[in-house]
Structure formats: C-alpha cells, structure tokens
C-alpha cells in the first residue's frame, strides 16, 4: 500500500514544465495576431485612396468673335401646347394613344359612346325625308286624274245649274198665270241660286287644281326642308364629334382619361367628369422661356441670336433667336419674359428641361460660334487630365473635356488611371 501511494504523488517539476509550455503557446498566438494586424494596417494604409483636390470645369463659353453679351437660364417649353377637349358629353368607349406616342393630324385618339347621337340623327333624317316628299308634291302640281275629276265635278254643277234655271223660268211663267203659287216660285228661285253658287265654287276649285299650288306655299315648304336639313347636319356633327381627332401632328404629352370615364364640356370636378382627354404638342417647335431682369433687358432686341444648352446634355449646342417678348413686365419679379425659339430641336430636348441661353451680339452673327473650355494649367499632365468619375481617377485628353467635369488639380505623381481617390472640392 505504501508503495502504491508513493506512486500516486504529483510530480511538481513536471507540472511546472507543462505550465510554462502552455504560456508559450498563448504568447505565440498573441504575437501572430499582432503581426497580422500590423501587416493589415500597413497594407490598408498603402492601398488607401489618396485625397486629391478637384475643381469643377465651367461650361463651354463662346469664342471666335461672338462673346456672349448676356447669359440667362430658363425652361424649355412647347411653343403651342394643346389640351384637347371633347365637343360633346359622353362616356369614353375607346382610347388609342398613350403618353409619348407620336400622332398625325386627323388621327382618331378617343371615341365616346355614340348610341344616343346616332338615334337623334335617324330621327332628324326621317323628318327631313317627310318634308322633302311634301315639297316634291307641291313642285309637281296636281296629277292628271285630279284635274279630270275637278273638271267632271264642274260639268255636273253646270248641268244642275242649267236644270235649275229651266225650272225657275217655267215656275215663273205658271205663277204669272196663277197656276202655281208664290211659294213654288220662291222654291224654284232658291234651288237655282244654290246651283249657281255650287257651280261657281267648283269652277274655282278646278282652276286651282289645273294651275297647281301657289308659289308662296312652295316657298314655305322649301324653308321647312332647309330647317330640317340643318337639324340633320347638326345631329351628324354631334355624332362625328364623338370621335376626337388630333388637330395637328405632334407628340402626346399627357393622357387624362381612361375607358369608362365621363367627359364633359362644362364644369369639371376634382373627381368628376374630365374636361380634356389628352394634351399634345409639336416637339419640333420648342422655345426657351426666360425671365430677363429689367436691368439687362436693354441688351436684347427682337430676333436676337443665342446659343442654347441644357443641363442634361451640356455638350450639345442649339442655335436660337428671340421669337417673343412679353408686352408687359412682371412688377413683383422686376423681369420681362422672353421666349427664344430653338431653330433645329432634336430628340434630346424635352419640355420643362433646364436650359441655359447665351445671347450674342446681333452685329457679329456672321462669325461662326465656337465653344471653348477653360482648364486649370495645374491639372494638365502630358496633355491629359484626371477626371473623377464614381470615385475613380480617369485619364482623359484635354481636347475631350467638354465642361462640367470634376478634374484633379495637381495630381500626385504616382496617380494611375482607374485608381480610387477621395475628392476634396477646391
């Protein structure tokens, strides 16, 4: 037992060796971590984006003898914007255009329900046909059969008149001899007078049938026909107006209705019937709307030439001239509104775009306009500059600078194309 207990005793020396060996491993791991962190810090510092000074290149200015006499900013507008409305009220049955579509003059854009207008047209056409038939009857006069009948009636009346005359003569003779009474003579006289009146009436009727209707009656009927024709034309126009067509060729700027919505020609509510169906304009007829300070207004004149640029496409230049000057000034702004017509617009221009206008002297318009850009000399290296694009330095030739770029001033010697940089505005 004693021998076994002695074998179970703890070896203090071995314990000290094992403990010192564990601390060595911890120290080694800490040392490796510090070395790795320091290396990463050094690499990050070496690869960090350098901070560079940048300057915004101003927009191109004019040279070649046409120095601007005035610069102004405004908005591009359509010279003639049309909000196309309906001439009749109704519900939209079909719409065939959408925003941005190009349309030609006369093209059908919207159709309204037309059942009611078609029924009114049929009713008016029926009334017109009825009056036309009456007018034709009056123009043609009496038929031969009607004239023959009136003539026969007149002959019968004349025969009755002759018989009544003979009876009256005989009765008068017998009454004078005392054979017949005075009453018999009166009766014979009355029958004769009635036969004479009937014969006279039928004679006039025969003449009217033979001559035909009076000219005044024909003229009155013709007036009624013209009135009915006007009613038909109006009903046809109302029916035609259910199809809304483009008055000019242009581009759809806004679509204001959908199928099933009600269109009116009168009062328009916020959520009720619509007052117009689409708006369109000819985008080949654009202007720049400017507010010119009254202090600068004297520098301009009618048809003053100008160069137009936009913020969206600063490298594109458009020639223009003053087309319209407001007849009165704006008292609150102390400005005068001027509209510059763009001579040859293209698909890059859109209404409501920001635009800059450089007016040039009217006496120097024959000299070609050449844009130039001022680049700081400190930014040029070997006929190139570095432009900051998406946080990277991009090398670009000086001739390629168009204005509006952020270029690096005094670029570092070791700066490379495509290297990340931290711009600091100069």
The domain that holds 95 is classified in CATH as 2.40.50.100
- Claim to verify: residue 172 and residue 201 sit in the same structural domain: yes
How many domains does the chain contain in total? 5
| Spatial CA neighbour of 310 closest among 362, 361, 360, 346 | 346
Q: Check pLDDT > 70 for residue 369.
A: no
> Which two structure tokens, joined as six digits, stand for 327?
């007849």
- Claim to verify: residue 221 and residue 289 sit in the same structural domain: no
- Claim to verify: residue 253 and residue 304 sit in the same structural domain: no
Question: Tens digits of per-residue pLDDT, 381-410?
Answer: 888 888 888 788 888 887 777 777 788 888
| β-bridge mates for residue 245, sequence order | 108
Secondary structure (DSSP) of 315-362 = T--EEEEEEEE-SS-BTTTTEEEEEEEESS--TT--TT-EEEEEEE-G
- Claim to verify: residue 99 and residue 134 sit in the same structural domain: no
- Claim to verify: residue 36 and residue 131 sit in the same structural domain: no
- Claim to verify: residue 264 and residue 312 sit in the same structural domain: no
Pairing of strands 305-310, 61-63: unpaired
- Claim to verify: residue 215 and residue 311 sit in the same structural domain: no
- Claim to verify: residue 232 and residue 126 sit in the same structural domain: yes
Q: Is 29 exposed, middle or buried (0-12, 13-18, 19+ CB in 10 A)?
A: exposed
Q: Check pLDDT > 90 for residue 238.
A: yes
The domain that holds 341 is classified in CATH as 2.40.30.170
Q: Which of 333, 350, 368 is the last residue of a domain?
A: 368
Other Cβ atoms closer than 10 A to 231: 16
**pLDDT, average across residues 224-242:** 95
Q: Which of 338, 368, 398 is the last residue of a domain?
A: 368
- Claim to verify: residue 162 and residue 255 sit in the same structural domain: no
Average pLDDT, the chain: 82
- Claim to verify: residue 392 and residue 408 sit in the same structural domain: yes
Question: Tens digits of per-residue pLDDT, 106-145?
Answer: 999 999 999 999 999 999 999 999 999 988 887 776 677 7
- Claim to verify: residue 100 and residue 246 sit in the same structural domain: yes
- Claim to verify: residue 42 and residue 100 sit in the same structural domain: no
> In terms of residue numbers, what domain contains 147?
120-236
pLDDT band at 317 (very low <50, low <70, confident <90, very high): very high
């Amino acid at each position: 037992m004693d021998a076994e207990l002695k074998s179970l005793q703890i070896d203090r020396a071995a314990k000290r060796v094992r403990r010192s060996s564990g601390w060595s491993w911890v120290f080694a791991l800490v040392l490796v971590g510090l070395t790795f962190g320091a290396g990463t810090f050094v690499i990050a510092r070496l690869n960090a984006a350098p901070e560079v000074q940048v300057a915004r290149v101003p927009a191109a200015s004019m040279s070649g003898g046409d120095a601007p006499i005035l610069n102004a900013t405004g908005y591009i507008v359509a010279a003639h914007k049309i909000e196309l409305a309906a001439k009749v009220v109704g519900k939209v049955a079909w719409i065939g255009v959408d925003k941005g579509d190009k349309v030609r003059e006369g093209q059908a854009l919207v159709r309204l329900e037309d059942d009611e207008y078609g029924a009114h047209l049929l009713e008016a056409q029926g009334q017109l046909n009825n009056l036309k038939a009456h007018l034709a009857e009056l123009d043609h006069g009496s038929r031969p059969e009607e004239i023959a009948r009136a003539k026969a009636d007149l002959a019968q009346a004349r025969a009755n008149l002759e018989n009544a005359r003979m009876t009256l003569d005989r009765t008068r003779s017998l009454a004078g001899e005392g054979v017949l009474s005075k009453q018999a003579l009166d009766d014979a006289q009355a029958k004769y007078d009635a036969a004479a009146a009937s014969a006279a009436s039928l004679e006039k009727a025969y003449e009217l049938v033979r001559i035909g209707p009076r000219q005044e009656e024909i003229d009155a009927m013709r007036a009624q026909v013209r009135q009915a024709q006007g009613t038909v034309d109006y009903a046809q126009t109302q029916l035609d107006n259910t199809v809304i067509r483009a008055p000019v060729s242009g581009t759809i700027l806004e679509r204001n209705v959908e199928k099933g919505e009600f269109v009116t020609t009168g009062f328009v509510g916020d959520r009720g019937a619509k007052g117009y169906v689409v708006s369109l304009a000819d985008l080949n007829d654009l202007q720049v709307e400017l507010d010119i300070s009254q202090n600068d207004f004297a520098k301009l004149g009618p048809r003053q030439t100008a160069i137009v640029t936009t913020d969206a496409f600063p490298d594109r230049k458009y020639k223009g001239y003053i087309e319209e000057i407001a007849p009165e000034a704006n008292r609150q702004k102390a400005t005068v509104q001027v509209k510059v017509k763009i001579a040859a617009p293209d698909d890059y221009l859109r209404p409501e775009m920001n635009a800059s206008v450089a007016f040039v002297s009217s006496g120097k318009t024959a000299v070609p306009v050449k844009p130039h850009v001022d680049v700081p000399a400190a930014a040029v290296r070997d006929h190139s500059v570095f432009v900051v694009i998406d946080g990277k330095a991009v090398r670009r030739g000086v001739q390629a600078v168009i204005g509006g770029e952020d270029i690096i001033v005094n670029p570092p010697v070791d700066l490379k194309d495509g290297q990340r940089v931290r711009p600091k505005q100069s």
